[in-house]
A and B are shown apart, each in its own frame.
Chain A
């Protein structure tokens, strides 16, 4: 056992952790598709999928079998390269973002100095999935969906970054672990309440979840940017949306709700509980809110959220300077 020296073992453990986190994120995204339908059924006073297995617990497997064995059809009028590339970008950019999330003191993939910026960069790359997917389909509904998605995501990413800067200013670092450790006494949701509100809204908008799902509005655009996709390529867009939901929930927990901190229970349980609470909130929002008109979504972003984040950042900076003059 000479080769199993200290650094080799450490890097093997790190690799294993990374693999577990990756698979965990994908699986959680897949499980959320079924959990969401059951919860929607509960809140909308109907059954939801409850036929496959006890309490519908095997529905996920049935869905996976269905989606794997569907015909994988590429339209003859599509731009093949981009058409195939787009679902990959959708999935990969979101999964890579899990790299920066510290789950417990010992668990986490990467510990970057620029942690938070890495997420913002990948969120920027994620726009191309929708944009290329919609354009390469050669379908006008898909193109309209892609246009809506890119304009919406660009507008909401502007203040998503600004909403997080209050947290960064208070923690004094972009590093996610330092941000979590800075919340040991008080969760950032209290001093950064407006930052939390705007980040939640921006997070929903960037993942195209329900109140902001104009890019794929069924009633207006058939299915938006992925109308021409079938089989596993559609599946990657579909699971990608849920992975994005898990990602935003985990980020909210890390940035505003103290990450793994909490009394009595072990860190992993606290992190999972908090993340699950936000996942349920995402589903509840979908179950309860109507879809606003597209131009209202845009003016809400620019005229309400952007000024709010700017004022929030200004006040945060002023308070920090008053409390601790240079």
Chain B
């Protein structure tokens, strides 16, 4: 499984680099989707298939669809690609990348010298184990997160609510927009 781990981790890093360097926003999002799928593969390789499947369902399958949806609606054309190209000149990215390179070196040096930590084990974490952990010791956190999400849902539906229509002809359109949002 270690080969699978390193391969998918490599794909994840390369795809994330592609997200940053690609000037076309939709292509960059495609790279981000690939990056998320490869992170899911990392979870599979680490023996957490439940987390991997949820990563694909929630992030790649739902949240990224909304991202792509919005970017496609914006209809960003050639001007945006040119603008992104202009932002990718070495003068812009050289400074930040030197700084983050130093941070990366520090991280590698720490990992190299310090405790190796746990290596990839053979055991597989099942959905049952995750469920009994979530609804056992972590029940309070789960309930708090649920309340927060419910509040966000109520707020979003209140903010997105359209005023009462005057004419029936308008109500059709507003109804469609309300459902799609």
Residues in A neighbouring B60, C-beta threshold 8 A: 121, 124-125
Nearest CB of chain A from residue B37's CB, rounded to whole Å: 8
Asked if A114 lies at the interface with its beta carbon under 8 angstroms from chain B, I say yes
**Interface 1/0s, chain A 123-162, versus B by CB < 8 A?**
1110110011001000000010011001100100100010
Check B180 against A151 for contact (C-beta < 8 Å). Answer: yes
Asked if B62 lies at the interface with its beta carbon under 8 angstroms from chain A, I say yes
Residues in A neighbouring B179, C-beta threshold 8 A: 295, 298-299, 302
Say whether chain A's binding surface is mostly helix, strand, loop, or mixed.
helix
Cα(A157)–Cα(B62), bound, Å: 9
Q: Given contacts A82-B26, A114-B49, A146-B72, are A131 and B65 in contact (CB under 8 A)?
A: yes
Residues in B neighbouring A174, C-beta threshold 8 A: 127
Nearest CB of chain B from residue A317's CB, rounded to whole Å: 12
- Set A114, A124, A298, A299: member contacting B50, Cβ < 8 A: A114
Q: Given contacts A124-B62, A135-B72, are A113 and B54 in contact (CB under 8 A)?
A: no
Residues in A neighbouring B65, C-beta threshold 8 A: 124, 127-128, 131, 150, 154
Cα(A177)–Cα(B166), bound, Å: 56
Asked if A118 lies at the interface with its beta carbon under 8 angstroms from chain B, I say yes
Asked if A2 lies at the interface with its beta carbon under 8 angstroms from chain B, I say no
Cα(A273)–Cα(B24), bound, Å: 49
Q: Given contacts A154-B62, A295-B179, are A113 and B127 in contact (CB under 8 A)?
A: yes
Residues in B neighbouring A124, C-beta threshold 8 A: 56-57, 60-62, 65
Question: What interface size band does chain A fall in?
Answer: 20 to 34
Check B72 against A121 for contact (C-beta < 8 Å). Answer: no
Say whether chain B's binding surface is mostly helix, strand, loop, or mixed.
helix
Check B50 against A143 for contact (C-beta < 8 Å). Answer: no
Asked if B30 lies at the interface with its beta carbon under 8 angstroms from chain A, I say yes
Asked if A189 lies at the interface with its beta carbon under 8 angstroms from chain B, I say no
- Set B30, B126, B176: member contacting A82, Cβ < 8 A: B30
Check A114 against B175 for contact (C-beta < 8 Å). Answer: no
Residues in A neighbouring B176, C-beta threshold 8 A: 294-295, 298
Asked if A219 lies at the interface with its beta carbon under 8 angstroms from chain B, I say no
Residues in A neighbouring B127, C-beta threshold 8 A: 113-114, 117, 174
- Number of residue pairs spanning A and B whose beta carbons lie under 8 angstroms apart: 87
Cα(A301)–Cα(B2), bound, Å: 43
Asked if B27 lies at the interface with its beta carbon under 8 angstroms from chain A, I say yes
Nearest CB of chain A from residue B117's CB, rounded to whole Å: 26
Nearest CB of chain A from residue B58's CB, rounded to whole Å: 8
Check A127 against B53 for contact (C-beta < 8 Å). Answer: no
Asked if B68 lies at the interface with its beta carbon under 8 angstroms from chain A, I say yes
Nearest CB of chain A from residue B18's CB, rounded to whole Å: 12
Residues in B neighbouring A143, C-beta threshold 8 A: 72
Check B53 against A121 for contact (C-beta < 8 Å). Answer: yes
Residues in A neighbouring B66, C-beta threshold 8 A: 154
Cα(A121)–Cα(B52), bound, Å: 10
- Set B50, B68, B124, B175: member contacting A128, Cβ < 8 A: B68
Cα(A124)–Cα(B64), bound, Å: 10
Cα(A82)–Cα(B37), bound, Å: 18
Check B26 against A121 for contact (C-beta < 8 Å). Answer: no
Cα(A131)–Cα(B57), bound, Å: 16
Asked if B33 lies at the interface with its beta carbon under 8 angstroms from chain A, I say yes
Nearest CB of chain A from residue B64's CB, rounded to whole Å: 8
Q: Given contacts A121-B53, A131-B69, are A157 and B61 in contact (CB under 8 A)?
A: yes
- Set B61, B69, B126: member contacting A121, Cβ < 8 A: B61
Residues in A neighbouring B62, C-beta threshold 8 A: 124, 154, 157
- When C-beta atoms are compared, the residue in chain A nearest to B61 turns out to be A124
Cα(A151)–Cα(B70), bound, Å: 11
Nearest CB of chain B from residue A255's CB, rounded to whole Å: 16
- When C-beta atoms are compared, the residue in chain B nearest to A168 turns out to be B127
Nearest CB of chain B from residue A171's CB, rounded to whole Å: 12
Check A150 against B57 for contact (C-beta < 8 Å). Answer: no
Check A135 against B53 for contact (C-beta < 8 Å). Answer: no
Q: What are 5 pairs between A and B in contact, CB < 8 Å?
A: A114-B50, A117-B57, A143-B72, A150-B68, A298-B176
Supplied contacts A114-B127, A151-B69, 5 more A-B pairs, CB within 8 Å: A117-B54, A120-B53, A124-B62, A125-B37, A295-B179
